[in-house]
Amino acid sequence: PASSDMHCVVAGAGFVGLEMVEQLMKRGMQVTIVEMLPQILSPLDKEMAAILEKDLERRGVSVLTGDAISEFVEADGDAGDTIVKLKSGKALPPAQVTILGLGVRPDTKLAADAGLECTKRGHIVVDDHLRTSVDNVWAVGDAIEVR
């Protein structure tokens, strides 16, 4: 089908998911975002996220927050199309493309239990040299926050 006839579902409205939405929109595709949290871009405050959500909707993107994907079902009669079902019971229109832009949260419980300083969101606090709050312990990757 032509790009404008294609429906794409993007699961996850974080930075990766929204980058995918932008690219799909540029190609003229119909896009639905499904985000299980109550707002898109959870690191932002509610007011900022609401402005972005309204802008996406103004551009024709269907934004579904507070719901999650429960199942993928092959659509009847059209090979390759997928029906995305949500935990709320809603079934989305057939999608030709489904992208999982789901974030991960590092498990830093062991670090916190060992006495390393962690942020409220659970990231291990490090300095510019990746040193933690405990002597001779360094941390790297998605689990850290540099202060």
Beta strand 69-74 pairing with 82-86 = antiparallel
Please report the sign of the dihedral spanned by the C-alpha atoms of residue 123, residue 124, residue 125, residue 130: negative
Q: pTM of the predicted model, to two decimals?
A: 0.74
Residue 2, pLDDT > 80, answer no
What's the rounded mean pLDDT across residues 114-126?
Answer: 94
Q: What is the 3-state secondary structure (H, E, C) of 58-123?
A: HCCCEEEECCCEEEEEECCCCCCCEEEEECCCCECCCECEEEECCCCCCCCHHHHHCCCCECCCCC
Instruction: Give the tens place of pLDDT for each residue, 63-96.
Output: 999 999 999 999 887 678 999 999 999 999 999 9
d(CA 95, CA 31): 9
What's the rounded mean pLDDT across residues 101-124?
Answer: 90
Query: Residues 135, 137, 138, 139: what is their CA dihedral angle, to the nearest 10 degrees?
Result: -130
Residue 103, pLDDT > 90, answer no
